[in-house]
Amino acid sequence: MSCDNELLISSLIDRQIAAEERENVLAHLESCAACSESYESMQSMRLALRRIAEPRMPVGLPGKLRQSAAYERVRNLSRASIRARRMDWLSRLQLAFENMMRPHALPFAGGFLSAALAFGLLVPNLSFAHRYISGGPATQIFNMPDGVVVGASGEPPRIEPADAQTSDYQTVVVLTVDSSGRVTDYQVTRGQLTDDLKELIMFSNFTPATFFGLPTTAKVRVYCNKIIPGMRS
Amino acid sequence: MATSILDLSSGRAAEVNADLEDLRLIELLRECNEGAYEELLTRFQQQVYTLAVRLLNDPSEAADVVQEVFLKVFRNIGSFRGQSSLKTWIYRITVNEAHNARRWFFRHRRREVELDTNPEESRNWKEIIPDRSRSPFEMALDGEQHSMIEAALDRINPIFREAVVLRDITDLSYEEIAEILGVSLGTVKSRILRGREALREELAGSLKNGLALRLVPKTAE
């Protein structure tokens, strides 16, 4: 046996050698100092390698691994079936939507409330401008609210002072006009009111009744023509 | 003789038990059982970390590799066909990941390292600073020997290092190493031998340097 036996020695250390060959190598080791030294050094190195202390894991690593395991478990669960996959997508979408909406929720609510408030403040001041043909309110001790609701077919109805006289009235309405000239109530005593007229009455300003020159609430009778929906007080 | 037969049969029984245990764990992992994930980590995290540290000699790099390894294990457990044991499969992933990390390191960081260090400085500081209070013989018996071995391991060819680490530190059989590295048994044998020889040379060199460093101050006195 020549002394180029490193491979055999290495195999002998690892017990990866046939029994017969093992005997031969061991016998050679007895007689050859160089091979014996080689065997000893390799063996002691192997022992030293096995004795190296196990490196201690960094403190945060087990936690990170568990975190990753939990995440992967959820991921695998969500891919288990089509239904689970769909649920996962839905929950992702919901989360994405909620995350997107969260920063907008307060400004949106604020904007909506401001708009509602502004609209609420604006509505009571909505009114139509009236064209008065005659002069302003008369300076009597008590005068009635004045005005006539007229309208031609094809054009929206409007209010004018009462000077046009017609006799063929189909609808009679009693309006309650308050001190600011706004209609607070109405009562149909004959016929029917059209929607246009109702709207016009509710959003119209009448010249209020005056009592010793001060505006006051009063009732007024209004007439409405059948063909030309004009009303007269 | 009787005892050896008994040993043999008990060894085989242990192997069969380990295989059954692996199969059970794999099945539970496929069912996304929470305890199975925990069990897998408990069983393998230290082993994988040790292997990664020995292959890379860089604890922080090894920690990254361990995370990558378990990520791959969790994601691919469904496609694991069981041709090899769970341990072999996980070690194979670890070796590949360490290989990738080393390649990345050489591609991206080598230049930075080379710019401001020289080979002498790139050694472990424990190896460079002489320990004047102890003799080389005492040194051979304590922890300093370990750091010397670690440094020597770091300096040998990574291909041979893989084989030596898997055989001598992780204590795997030649067959398992062949499976992990994807090479033949003969190649495993020769890589282990060449690794051991290279390691022996490195250690002999370190010891000589160590002796020289220790002898200089004594002669000066």
Tens-digit pLDDT profile for residues B4-49: 454 556 666 777 777 788 888 888 888 888 888 899 999 999 999 9
| Cβ within 8 Å, pair B189-A76 | no
pLDDT attached to residue B8: 53
The one-letter amino acid code at B2 reads A
pLDDT of residue B70: 93
The beta-carbon neighbor of A14 closest among B49, B174, B199 is B174
Residues of chain B with C-beta less than 8 angstroms from the C-beta of A64: 67
B35 in contact with chain A, both atoms CB, cutoff 8 A: no
Domain ranges of chain A: 6-51, 68-123, 142-232
Tell me: pLDDT of A111 over 90. Answer: yes
Banded pLDDT at A138 (limits 50, 70, 90): very low
Condensed to tens digits (0 to 9), the pLDDT of residues A200-226 reads: 777 777 777 777 777 788 887 776 654
Going by pLDDT thresholds of 50, 70 and 90, the confidence category of residue B208 is: low
- Comparing A125-139, A164-178, B82-96, the range with the smallest average pLDDT is A125-139
Q: Note whether B149 contacts A: Cβ–Cβ < 8 A.
A: yes
Chain A residue numbers touching B32 (CB-CB < 8 A):
73, 76-77, 80
Residues on chain A touching B49 (C-beta within 8 angstroms) = 55, 57, 61
Look up residue B61 and give its two tokens.
């790099």
Residue B88: pLDDT band with limits 50, 70, 90: very high
- In the predicted model, what is the mean pLDDT of residues B61-72? 93
- Asked if A84 has any chain B CB less than 8 Å from its own CB, the reply is no
Q: Is the confidence at residue B114, as pLDDT, over 90?
A: no
The ipTM is 0.70
Which three-class secondary structure string do you get for chain B? CHHHHHHHHHHHHHHHHHHHHHHHHHHHHHCCCHHHHHHHHHHHHHHHHHHHHHHHCCHHHHHHHHHHHHHHHHHHHHHCCCCCCHHHHHHHHHHHHHHHHHHHHHHHCHHHHHHHCCCCCCCCHHHHCCCCCCCHHHHCCCHHHHHHHHHHHHHCCHHHHHHHHHHHHCCCCHHHHHHHHCCCHHHHHHHHHHHHHHHHHHHHHHHHHHHHHHHHHHHHC
Closest-CA distance, A99 to chain B, in angstroms, reads: 28
Higher pLDDT, A231 or B104: B104
All structural domains of chain B, each given as residue ranges with its CATH number in brackets, are: 45-220 (1.10.10.10)
Q: pLDDT tier at B112 (50, 70, 90 boundaries)?
A: low
The verdict on a CB contact (< 8 Å) between B37 and A73 is yes
Nearest residue, CB atoms, A66 vs list B41, B53, B150: B41
Nearest CA in chain B to A76: B32
The Cα-based distances of A205 to A148, A164, A175, A202, B98 in angstroms read 11, 19, 12, 9, 88
Provide the shortest C-alpha distance from residue A31 to chain B (in Å).
Answer: 22
How far B169 CA sits from the closest chain A CA (Å)?
A: 5
Percent of chain B exceeding pLDDT 90 equals 28
Q: Residue B80 — very low, low, confident or very high, per pLDDT cuts 50/70/90?
A: confident
pTM of the model: 0.58
A72 touches chain B (CB under 8 A): yes
Q: What is the pLDDT of residue B181?
A: 92
pLDDT of B220: 41
First to last CA, chain A: 139
Of A79-88, A124-133, B109-118, B177-186, the least confident: B109-118
